[in-house]
Structure 1
Amino acid sequence: MKPELQNLPLTDNSGSHRFELTVNHATAFMEYGEREGALALFHTEVPGQLEGQGVGTALVEKVLAEVEQRQRQLIPLCPFVTSYLKRHPEWQRLVAPAYLRWFQPKEQE
């Protein structure tokens, strides 16, 4: 995560079912919900003026840290989160067991 984003607070806007990260008066967010006893991450959105600045990555990292702090499992339904987890397998420890197969190497036929 870029140093300038590390100290920005992650907000849990539970009424809207989304985590939010505000940077320079613009808010990136990740929609979530409860599913199968875990926290399902549905969609990540970064405003155009924040794209390419590492805000999406910072949001994912902050949400993963929050999930871990809450001692929850997650269901990564958001393609951006799934992509991040494939590049950072150390975070796959939070993935609900039924969804870990998404991160297994494909068997060759």
Structure 2
Amino acid sequence: MEFTHDAKNNRFTLDVNGAIAKVDYTLKNDKMYLVYSEVPHNLRGQGIGKILVEKTFEHLTKEGYKAVAICGYIKLVASRSEKWKHIIE
């Protein structure tokens, strides 16, 4: 699995054997608004979405960003751990 940040297209991706899971965001006032997440159908039910979202949160932490979870799934992952409360609104 390869995690990348495509800043040009406002997207985080996780490549799983050529299938791409993604988190799309917008930047506003130095905050990332995490608006959409998607996992290809053939990868669903394997925890890929959670891995992608947590890697996104780790990247945000490393880069010093605060974020707002708009996507329902991203909100769910954030709410299940105290670890992300300092960066996710």
Whose Rg is larger? 1
TM-score exceeds 0.5: yes
Give the percent of matched residue pairs that are identical in Structure 1 and Structure 2: 28
What TM-score results when the alignment is normalised by the length of structure 2?
A: 0.92
For 1:94, what is the secondary structure of its paired residue? coil
Structure 1, gaps ≥5 residues long: 1-7, 100-109
Structure 2, gaps ≥5 residues long: none
Q: Does residue 39 of the first structure (1) align with residue 54 of the second (2)?
A: no
Report the alpha carbon displacement of residue 51 of structure 1 after superposing the two structures with TM.
0.3
The amino acid that maps onto 1:9 is E
What TM-score results when the alignment is normalised by the length of structure 1?
A: 0.76
Matched with 1:56 is 49
Q: 2: CA distance between counterparts of 1:53 and 1:15?
A: 29
Runs of 4+ in 1 over 6 A off after TM superposition: none
Q: Does residue 25 of the first structure (1) align with residue 28 of the second (2)?
A: no
RMSD of aligned Cα (Å):
1.1
Count residues in correspondence: 89
Matched with 2:62 is 69
